[in-house]
Amino acid sequence: MTATEFTPVAALLGGALIGIAAVALMAATGRIAGISGIAVRLLPPYTEAGLAGRIAFVLGIVVSPLVAALVTGSVPIPRIEAKAPLLALAGLLVGFGAVWGNGCTSGHGVCGLSRLSMRSLVATAVFMATAMATVFLIRHIL
Amino acid sequence: MVILVQFAIGLVFGLGLIVAGMSDPAKVLNFLDLAAISSGGWDASLAFVMVGAIVVTFIGFKLVLRRRQPIFGEHFHLPTATDLNARIVAGPAIFGIGWGLAGFCPGPGLTAALTGGAAAWLFLAAMFAGMAGARFLAARQTMPAPVRTSPPDTRNPTSAGDTP
């Protein structure tokens, strides 16, 4: 495992920015800022309008590290520990599960909990539990 | 205009993930590793990200939803489902396993597209494949079953062969 530092202030600030984005998207388009929901609707068939806006939103996320690099002078590099087969499996499960459960960490974990949705509370509790169990298995049992 | 606004909102969302450190899967995995609370190395940051995001969103949604309509739309699209069915447990259960395997959920997967190299693209390609698979299955599941809803065709005995 890669050691990381507990950064409560940056975490709160970054979380607040995520919240501002979620509120801004609701104010602008009336939509929940659920990344998996927006991402899956980038794929055909296109049954509803607003594809260009969804592409723009996702592009904004994709280029955000470059903007961060312009401001801070260093590119934020993700430290990816998982090897290729595990990454492929992880991607399949994350994509499938998020769409099957109608949301991911942003849709259920942030927007849903903020709306006091019981479905989102169940979803968040379940994915936190299975994620923690998975990490425990990989790091401490296998 | 609305497209430019959505680009800017995506940018703020991504910057939030980066500032919070959540664009780094190592930080996410170190939060999910509860055994590290006693052995050392646990990183509680993700919980603080959730708190920051939820406080702002809780208050912000209350203010925004007082308006009659969004700025660039005719009405708000809020989820209406309230039933706690099998999908709301099975989906997140599967999602969580994938999240725990690599420390990536969809947002950080996207912020890694330009900074995470081939590993990030592998995750993203698999993620979109998984999404397509789930949407395909969900569409099949919710499709009406015409054989059951239409009255039985008594004139044509071969239609009985439709039942599996």
pLDDT tens for each residue of A90-121: 999 999 999 999 999 999 999 999 999 999 99
Q: Angle of helix B117-142 relative to helix A84-100, nearest 10 degrees?
A: 30
H helices present in B33-145, as ranges: 36-39, 45-64, 87-102, 106-111, 117-142
pLDDT value of position A47 = 84
Across the range A9-25, mean pLDDT stands at 98
- B144: amino acid identity, one letter: P
Mean residue pLDDT across chain A: 96
Distance (Å, rounded) from C-alpha A128 to C-alpha A136? 12
The DSSP line for A112-129 is IHHTT-HHHHHHHHHHHH
Q: Which residues of A touch B69 (CB under 8 A)?
A: 30
* Distances, alpha carbon A82 to alpha carbons A61, B100, B120, in Å: 22, 10, 10
Model pLDDT, residue A49: 87
Contact A127 B2 (CB under 8 A): no
pLDDT surpasses 80 at B34: yes
Nearest Cβ partner of A35 from B48, B87, B106? B106
**A73-77, A128-132, B159-163: lowest mean pLDDT where?**
B159-163
B142 CA: distance to closest CA in chain A (Å): 12
Q: Does B113 touch chain A (CB under 8 A)?
A: yes
Would the pLDDT of B71 be above 70? yes
Band (pLDDT 50/70/90 cuts) for residue B146 is: low
Instruction: Quote the tokens at residue A103.
Output: 């949301």
> How distant is the Cα of B136 from the closest Cα of chain A, in angstroms?
10
Distance CA B80, CA B109 (A): 28
Mean pLDDT over the full length of chain B:
90
Among candidates A128, A34, A112, which has minimal Cα distance to B110?
A: A34
